[in-house]
Structure 1
Amino acid sequence: MGRKQKQKERQKQSTKELMGIDEITDYSLKTPYGELVYFIIRPTNISVLSESSVSARIYAHMTVLKGIAEIEMLCLNSKENFDDNKQYLKRRMDTEQNPVIRKLLQQDSTNLDRMQVQMATAREFLIIIRLKNEKESDVFPYLSRIEKSLKDQGFTTRRADNLDIKRLLGVYYEQNVTTERYEDYDGERWVVLGDV
Structure 2
Amino acid sequence: MKRQWKRQKKQADSTRSLMGITDITEHSLVTEHGELVFFMLKPTNISVLSDSSVSARIYALMNVLKGIADIEMLCLNSRENFEDNKNYLRQRMQAEENSVIRKLLQQDMTALDRMQVQMATAREFVLIIRLRDEKEADVQPYLARIEKSLKDQGFTTKKADKHTLKQLLGVYYEQNVTTEEYEDFDGERWVIFGDE
**Alignment TM-score, normalising by the size of structure 2:** 0.91
More off after superposition, 28-37 vs 9-18:
9-18
Report the secondary structure of 1:89's partner residue.
Answer: helix
Aligned residue in 2 for 1:155: 155
TM-superposition CA deviations, 1:7-49 (whole Å, max 9, x none): 3212211111111111000000011111110001111111111
State the shift of 1:96 in Å: 4.9
State the shift of 1:98 in Å: 6.2
Aligned residue in 1 for 2:25: 25
Q: 1:192 to 1:98 in 2, by over 3 A?
A: farther
1 CA distance for matches of 2:103 and 2:98?
A: 11
Q: Does 1:178 align with 2:185?
A: no
State the shift of 1:82 in Å: 1.4
1 CA distance for matches of 2:75 and 2:91?
A: 34
Letter in 1 for 2:8: K
Letter in 2 for 1:9: K
- Which segments of 5 or more consecutive residues in structure 2 lack a partner in the other structure? none
Q: Where do 1:1-80 residues align within 5 Å?
A: 2-80=2-80
More off after superposition, 128-137 vs 163-172:
128-137
Report the secondary structure of 1:181's partner residue.
Answer: coil
Report the secondary structure of 1:67's partner residue.
Answer: coil
State the shift of 1:154 in Å: 0.8
Aligned residue in 2 for 1:127: 127
Letter in 1 for 2:137: S
Percent of aligned pairs with the same amino acid: 71
TM-superposition CA deviations, 1:117-172 (whole Å, max 9, x none): 11111221111111122222221121111100001111111000001111111111
1 CA distance for matches of 2:144 and 2:130?
A: 15
Letter in 1 for 2:79: K
Report the secondary structure of 1:117's partner residue.
Answer: helix
Q: 1:66 to 1:82 in 2, by over 3 A?
A: same
Q: 1:41 to 1:106 in 2, by over 3 A?
A: same
- Which segments of 5 or more consecutive residues in structure 1 lack a partner in the other structure? none
Aligned residue in 1 for 2:194: 194
Aligned residue in 1 for 2:98: 97
Letter in 2 for 1:73: M
